[in-house]
Structure 1
Amino acid sequence: MNKNKYWLITGLISSILFVILVSVICLNQSWIIDLDSQFQRLPTMTVTTIKNQFFSIITFFGSPIVNICLTCLIALGVWFRQNQLLNVIWIISAQVIGDMLVFLFKEIIRRPRPNNQVMKDTGFSFPSGHTFSTAIVVLIILFIVIPWLEDQEIQFAISLLSICWLGVVAFSRLYLRNHFLTDVLGSILLALAWWEIMRGIYFTLYNPALESIKLKHLKERKK
């Protein structure tokens, strides 16, 4: 199975699971409420001052605003490396439009945040904006940045660190009790589904543009 089929299947499954999760949350199913409540009572979620400070820092650097800035920096790197405006627009759109999509779902579903927040946060709970925007940054790194690197060990190290960073940001939202477990899971599912949509747009728009540039260069060489 090639990578395109793998991502297509991943995107479809994620979309279906996200729709199911949204449905059960909107229907206020008791088993979802029990799942979220049980997870928040895990011993690993014991609150301490040091952990509060640590995860507050993590949640700041995993915020949508910071992730948008990081995405713009990656897009700037792509511009200097490839000089392809379409790629820059695509990268920024993947993050910004995706964040807008998260906000739209928040306003439609209007799920209240947990009552026992460690660090007070405003707005609605589902899905987690921090987790979603961080997931998009990680996917951009894996899809755009990693192929630039020739050393496989460096590729593996950066990929692993990126995925671990996503895990830490997601856990910070749970530890600070700004989100339920299903908020974080829903964000990851939405990010994977949205990423597949953006990949489809990328290969639809970018490839013809790339071919036209190649043809232009060939014509100039012939002259």
Structure 2
Amino acid sequence: MKVKKDFSWLFIFVGIIFMILFGIVSLGVFQESTSIENIDLAIIEVIQTNVTDTKTAFLSILSEIGNIRLSIALTIAFVIFLFIKRWYLAGFWLGGTVLCFAAIGTKLIKKVMGRARPNILPLIEKTTESFPSGHATSATIFYGILGLVLILLTNKYWKKTAVGLAVLVLIGFILMTRIYLGVHFPTDVIGGFLYGMATVFISVGIYKRVLEPLQQVLLRFNIQDRSISRTEGGSSCFPIRR
């Protein structure tokens, strides 16, 4: 008999580690730690060298890849697709994760932290709170979930590696643009990344734990959900056709 491996608790554990790291950075920012200030200034000095109008205009456009409004729009499109395929629980999971944690959660944390935007070399104007970076958070959650899904769906390690690297490069690029444009301290984007990664791993882990019980509940109402949490060849967290 073939025993299927369940890595859901491992995902949750990794997510908790990221959340602890986010808490450490948040505490340092809230207390206006000298170490945090030194880290911010050192990184800003490196990234904001050789500022040009052309580079600023270019990065201002590409930076919007991580815009929360774009992430929400793409999420809505994915959710509609999942519902059409009758992958209802996967749709609610994806939509709920992005809405609750990338949109609402980030705004709440910003209000609690109340950190002002940097005033060193702002190249574009932003007036909302600075920590954590909304672009960093939404990009990490949205692209992170899609990347992790693709990694879990493929059995070839070179493909897993390629997807993982591509997603990290994309997220890292978005984080760098926010620092270059002078709208965020480095610890803002680091905090957004850590919070986003915690959300991705914990959300995927919980999805894998609760999917099958929830499917049984839906069956009582004659609703057949086609989302699955595992494939025969390994572990997956995204729906595929049976």
> Which residue in 2 is equivalent to 1:15?
19
> Which residue in 2 is equivalent to 1:40?
44
> Which residue in 1 is equivalent to 2:238?
none
The alpha carbon displacement at 1:155 in A equals 5.5
What pairs up with 1:12-161 in 2 under 5 angstroms?
12-42=16-46, 45-81=49-85, 83-98=86-101, 99-115=103-119, 116-147=121-152, 156-161=161-166
Alignment CA distance shift 1:37-1:89 (3 Å): same
Kindly indicate whether the alpha-carbon contact (under 8 Å) linking 2:150 and 2:163 is maintained by their aligned counterparts in 1: no
| TM-score normalised over the length of structure 1 | 0.84
The alpha carbon displacement at 1:212 in A equals 5.7
Q: Distance in 1 between matches of 2:161 and 2:21?
A: 29
The alpha carbon displacement at 1:129 in A equals 0.5
Q: Distance in 1 between matches of 2:166 and 2:141?
A: 15
Alignment CA distance shift 1:114-1:86 (3 Å): same
Secondary structure of the corresponding residue to residue 127 of structure 1: coil
After superposition, the C-alpha distances for 1:23-52 in whole angstroms (9 at most, x for unaligned) are 111111111111101111116642111210
Alignment CA distance shift 1:167-1:153 (3 Å): same
> Which residue in 1 is equivalent to 2:233?
none
- Structure 1: where are the runs of 5+ without partners? 218-223
Secondary structure of the corresponding residue to residue 122 of structure 2: coil
After superposition, the C-alpha distances for 1:92-113 in whole angstroms (9 at most, x for unaligned) are 1111111211110101110011
Identity %: 26
The alpha carbon displacement at 1:164 in A equals 1.6
After superposition, the C-alpha distances for 1:174-196 in whole angstroms (9 at most, x for unaligned) are 11011111111111111122223
Matched, 1:172 2:177: yes
Secondary structure of the corresponding residue to residue 111 of structure 1: coil
Q: Distance in 2 between matches of 1:12 and 1:151?
A: 28
Alignment CA distance shift 1:158-1:16 (3 Å): closer
The alpha carbon displacement at 1:146 in A equals 4.9
Moved more, 123-132 or 134-143: 134-143
Moved more, 59-68 or 140-149: 140-149
- Structure 2: where are the runs of 5+ without partners? 225-242
Aligned residues: 216
Matched, 1:185 2:190: yes
Superposition CA RMSD, Å: 2.6
The alpha carbon displacement at 1:163 in A equals 2.4
> Which residue in 2 is equivalent to 1:221?
none
Hey, which of these two has a bigger chunk of helix by percent?
Answer: 1
